[in-house]
Structure 1
Amino acid sequence: MIEQPANCRIVDSKDDGTVAQELELEHMRSTLEEAIVETRSAPLENRPRLPRIALSKRNRAIVRALNPMLVTYLEASRDLCETDSVLFGATLAVCRIIGAKVSSAERATGHSIAIPAWRRRIEQRIAKARALIGTLICFRSGNNRPRIVRTVRMASAGTNVSLSQPDITQKLTERKDDLKQRIAAWGKRFRRYTERSTRFNQNRLFQSDQKSLFASLERLIVSETGPAPNQADTVAFWRGLWSEPVNHSEGPWTEVVASQCAGITPMDPVIITPDDVAEAVRRAPNWKSPELYGLHHYWLKGFMVCHSVLARQFQEALNQKSLPSLFTTGITHLVPKVQAQSFVTRHLKEKADKASTTFSLVMYQFP
């Protein structure tokens, strides 16, 4: 019988699974610590954008595994700002563990307009058709370069057109006219979509705010020409407007109001419990952010160990009647004005008459 050495042990498949799980947890713990340290040392405006992750079993298991690891960091948190940095670091750690792409901290300064997919496809078709028209014109003018000839042959594939035909010039002219008609049809489709969207938005604005609608119809948009403002001066102006503290002096009317309200019975004190936090988070949409820097509700739902800490710190802020800088900090985006041409008065009058007719029909259909 062969004896087993004292310094050796038999490792079965269960031990292999346990060791792998321990190594994975250690990797999660180190990633979490690095992300929290990185988030604490970085200013708020340099935080990256958090992506939306897939609601898969693996991702949920990773969030559950990080839950007990956050207890130490949350217990050492002194205020809501530190708790926010811990939760943001934990979210960043999850994204790095699952391999989710985290964008840079640069944020858009304007509102992006969503372009429908069908419109992008048609715009690509129009661009290709215009390029082909230019190639056909070059070929008709005598440009017989190999690239031009190859493009014309590819465009004629699947048809009865051959470059050796005697009436090739007539065939290419017909092909060019056909492409122009297609471009005109696609452009008309764009115009129909734009007009329909304009009517829809105007009808909705008429039902909600008629004054704003007619003001927008009658307003003359004048294009201003001149040197652009200096960016440094503009930033300094707005920074001085928002970033400088202002000491407000209360007027004597506040004392009058305070004396009038002295006899009013104060309301019962508000007590915030972890159940209140959990219920508020449960009803919130997953991928909406309650703060400026993009910590989604999904993470507040997943990291359940933070509910008691948030309840305690919100209660302290309520009792002290002071909000942390996290809730009072904002970003001012400088968006340049779009230069547009002036409208003609006659065009405005026709547009207003047409809009009023459309609105009458809408009000008749939807009383």
Structure 2
Amino acid sequence: MKGLFFRNRSGAVATKLNLMIPNFMYALIRPCLFSLDPENAHHFTLSSMRMASAMGMTALAPAVSPSPRKVMGLTFPNPVGLAAGLDKNGSCIDGLASLGFGFLELGTVTPKPQSGNPKPRMFRLPEAEGLINRMGFNNDGVDILVENVKASRFYREKKGILGLNIGKNASTPIENAVDDYLICLEKVYPVADYIAINISSPNTKNLRQLQGESELDNLLTQLKTAQDRLSQQYSRYVPLALKIAPDIDDNQIRNIADALLRHKIDGVIATNTTITRDTVKHLKHGQEAGGLSGAPVKDLSTHVIRCLKTELGNAIPIIGVGGILSGEDAREKTEAGASLVQILTGMIYSGPGLVRECVQALRRD
């Protein structure tokens, strides 16, 4: 029976049975995880995955067969990725990779270590299948992330696509934010397959100002200049993808799309968490400050994707994220215009089998 619950590094043939068992097992485990403080449950999950990876096993993970996509000049093993935020420091890369993701996005990381916002800072909204967090880019700093990437089998053996998500320190004035992005870009460039520029977290004061026309133009100008220099220095081109908020109107979307086209940015990630509370304000914790993810952000994210696709056409690919809790949700994002999708909160509610479910839903016959 052990082979039904665990898959060793050599892999195993996926069957309907070994897909059903992980979902069933997660349904049993979830109440225990939900009895813990959300942040403690987060740390417990990562620690358990590190242990399973060290033993050469992956708990509750059905095998995922290849379904490659070429996006941003990169070949992704499948179109379903892990969104930034789960593993900010790259401490569990090999464990996460073994869940079947086509790509991993780590971070958000900042130049200097920072503890983030005061606790408690993460809240489940189970009735809405949502999560509010105000973590505040808590991380060990960009140097630790790079060290952890280099130490992983995933990186050393080139097992897949790795995105590194960068931001600014809370202590850095917004007028100097570009300096932080440039520091991080310089340090992660040698080890990243693509780099995500996070200007849309609601949990770092004034960060979303960088989505404004003049601020965004200045940021993208300097990032592209640095990218050009680094691509010559390392003889490899690492794409840049801009991560934007769902809380923007159609005119702002048009302005962002125009900036992406003018600066020849390689991709756009839509979207981050939302600050709106219309659908959850009546729930316990529904009015906590922070970014709301999960099912309540799904329609906002999909709308942004659809508008971006209208403006960008096929010139710049879109990575869709926000409210994916089923294969059908993933397909909705691609039908709106996304080339790839990412999940995070959805796994808290649906379990690790969600990865394979989404890959299957997006498979091209």
What TM-score, normalized by structure 2, do the two folds share?
Answer: 0.17
More helix by share: 1
The structure having more radius of gyration, on CA atoms, is: 1
TM-score by length of 1: 0.17
